[in-house]
Amino acid sequence: MLCKCERKAVINLQHGSLCRQHFIHYFEDKVFKTINKYRLIDRNDKLCVATSGGKDSLTVLYLTKKYLKKYKIKENLFALVIDEGIDNYRATTIKDLEEFCEEHEIKLINVSFENEFSYTLDHAQKKLDKKPCNTCGVWRRYLLNKYAKKEDATKVITGHNLDDEAQVIMMNYFKANTKIASHLGPISGIEKFKGFVQRVKPLYFCTEKETRLYTLLKKFKVQYTECPYAREGYRSHIREMLNDFENNYPGTKQGVVNSFLDILPLLKEKAKQNDYTIKTCNNCGEPANKNVCNACKTVEVLNHA
């Protein structure tokens, strides 16, 4: 397998094989083009990069910094890590992240489920009758938004890649969650709603395989281990299904995301027409669908379990 430049290729993509040098250029160019095309970063933004120490978050953190430098934008960013309290897993990735942030001179803010909610995820999942990923998702989104606001961030940058997005799109199709689906895309969450910081995804068009290779070629110190709960959720079935399709029919995931982007304006329009009011949680003051937000509701249930 040779690259167009006759050097040995490190990856075989649909449009051809690429060597190390050309792949790194292709990958970074794709991320920067995504940021520019969807206007994910403005000159005056204060950026909160959601990190975990895994390959996606280190890549997006590194490339956000590189993007700001390339376009001569003032470096107004910090990394935020949420320690869920998952034994034999998160502590190691956080250690890698701390070293990474020190090396690249990036401020890191560390918050944890235990400090915030008085329960680690390990503890909570033993008491609750629901999948750990559901609790984790609710608490993570809550803390991301809360601490981004606390630091006056105007955007939250996440490391979601094409595989993640294709999985969530299919999950929402299968569950007929068109309202939730309308919040997906390179700019996710509820756009420009008071109380929510907009979330943006520069790795939106990068596959997991490409991101993994990028971190290997850049020699980032990353644990390629999976969260011990990752196999327990609905999502893991969707992931396996999509991986199977991708192996047999390359380009499937890209097709899922591209066709979704075609109909996204219609979904957003439909969501706007519905009466959709955001309330404020009576308990913590954060945005909520009901009188008490999902994060506080979960703590309430745990306290009575």
Which spans of this chain sit near ligand SF4 (rule: CB under 6 A)?
Answer: 84, 132-133, 136-137, 227, 229-230
CA–CA separation, 151 and 75 (whole Å):
15
Give the nearest distance from C-beta 217 to ligand SF4 in angstroms: 25
Q: Which is closer to ligand SF4, CB of 27 or CB of 229?
A: 229
- Buried-state track 110-144, b at ≥16 Cβ within 10 A, e below 16: ebbbbebbebbbbebbeebeeebbebbebbbbbbb
Q: Is 284 within 8 Å of 149 (Cβ atoms)?
A: no
User: Sign of the C-alpha dihedral, residues 142, 147, 150, 155?
Assistant: negative
Give the nearest distance from C-beta 132 to ligand SF4 in angstroms: 5
Q: Which is closer to ligand SF4, CB of 39 or CB of 95?
A: 95
Residues 6+ apart with CB under 8 A from 281: 287, 288, 291, 292, 293, 296
Give the nearest distance from C-beta 125 to ligand SF4 in angstroms: 8
Q: Is 93 within 8 Å of 159 (Cβ atoms)?
A: no
How many Cα atoms are found within 13 Å in the side-chain-facing hemisphere of 155?
Answer: 21
Give the nearest distance from C-beta 230 to ligand SF4 in angstroms: 4
Q: Which is closer to ligand SF4, CB of 223 or CB of 282?
A: 223
Q: Which is closer to ligand SF4, CB of 109 or CB of 230?
A: 230
Q: Is 138 within 8 Å of 298 (Cβ atoms)?
A: yes
DSSP code for 9: P
Give the nearest distance from C-beta 275 to ligand SF4 in angstroms: 30
Q: Which is closer to ligand SF4, CB of 47 or CB of 124?
A: 124
